[in-house]
Amino acid sequence: MKISVSIPEVKQWVKAQKIAGKTVGLVPTMGYLHEGHASLIKRCLAENDVVVVSNFVNPTQFGVGEDLADYPRDFNQDCTLCEALGVDMVFHPDSQEMYNAPHVSVAVDTLSETLCGKTRPIHFSGVCTVVCKLFNIVAPDRAYFGEKDAQQLAIIRKM
């Protein structure tokens, strides 16, 4: 299993897979993987030739006073699980790799302003921004998201 922290390296690796005729699946995560993630990864493995799992605690989806610093992390354990499942690449960038000034963001209005969006005004824009970046970096044939957060799912589908 390859582990990369570099956007150009991931792009190059994906390009080589596509030239070889392989389909690429992506499972975006913020790490601290559990059974739910494992089931998405298994489905991704079954439906694609190669699988990339992104592991990035995305700062732009955390508002002031939210739990970015306290968000649980266990990268070694995550890699052990991914390797056991047969994941081909784990993409583990840092914030500097993902976000450069000037900052570009993506937002879906209306859907992002109700329910959780009322108390977390920047949250869904942060989610859309990072997912859009991941789609551009990995250019997956298919991407897999949990259904626990129905609002997030609806917003990502719309994006």
By the criterion CB under 6 A, which residues form the site for ligand PAF?
28-30, 58, 61, 127, 130-131, 145, 152
Catalytic residue among 34, 37, 92, 123: 37
Q: How far apart are CB 76 and ligand PAF at their closest, in Å?
A: 19
Tell me if 125 sits within 8 A of 103, measured CB to CB: no
Q: How far apart are CB 19 and ligand PAF at their closest, in Å?
A: 28
Euclidean distance between CA atoms 159 and 28, whole angstroms: 15
Q: How far apart are CB 97 and ligand PAF at their closest, in Å?
A: 14
92 is catalytic: no
Q: Kindly tell me which of 22 and 57 has the beta carbon lying closer to ligand PAF.
A: 57
Euclidean distance between CA atoms 68 and 75, whole angstroms: 16
Q: Kindly tell me which of 20 and 148 has the beta carbon lying closer to ligand PAF.
A: 148
Q: Which whole-number Å values give the CA distances from 63 to 20, 60, 126, 151, 159, in the listed order?
A: 42, 7, 9, 17, 21
- H-run or E-run covering 39: helix 35-47
| Residue at 36: amino acid letter | G
Q: Kindly tell me which of 4 and 152 has the beta carbon lying closer to ligand PAF.
A: 152
Q: Kindly tell me which of 17 and 29 has the beta carbon lying closer to ligand PAF.
A: 29
Tell me if 41 sits within 8 A of 84, measured CB to CB: no
Q: How far apart are CB 128 and ligand PAF at their closest, in Å?
A: 9
Sign of CA dihedral 86, 87, 88, 89: negative
Query: Which residues form the catalytic set?
Result: 37
